[in-house]
Amino acid sequence: MTLQSCVQSTLDGAIMLEVEVQPGAKRQGVVGINTWRGRLTVAVRAEAQKGKANNAVLHVLSTTLQISKDQLKIVSGATSRTKKIRIENVSLQKLSSLLEPYLEEE
């Protein structure tokens, strides 16, 4: 499965990434692509309470993508497991190359 199923480019050059979150996981990190839903799966240790899981998702993505947390913003799904995250100042090629090791099907 390719990353194209969960990525959209915006008119202003940002990237919208569809993410499915697994809160309360034993391990934290990018798990892979859920082919059924067409989303990148991110597991976080934090529970889904008071925005802790949202902050953990942004932390995992900023670490994985090697960018500042300020370049990431949750634009929809703040209270849901499925989220849309806006990534600024990152090319689609860089995003693809950094996420390539995680693109095995789930």
Residue 46 identity: A
Residue 99 identity: L
Q: Which of 77, 34, 38, 37 is nearest to 57 (CA)?
A: 77
Q: 13 φ, ψ to 5°?
A: 95, 0
Query: What is the model's pLDDT at position 74?
Result: 97
Q: Which domains does the chain have, with CATH numbers?
A: 3-94 (3.30.1200.10)
Q: How does pLDDT run across 8-40, given as a tens digit for each residue?
A: 999 998 999 999 999 999 999 999 888 888 899
End-to-end CA distance of the chain: 10
Compute the distance between CA of residue 85 and CA of residue 33 in angstroms, rounded to an integer: 15
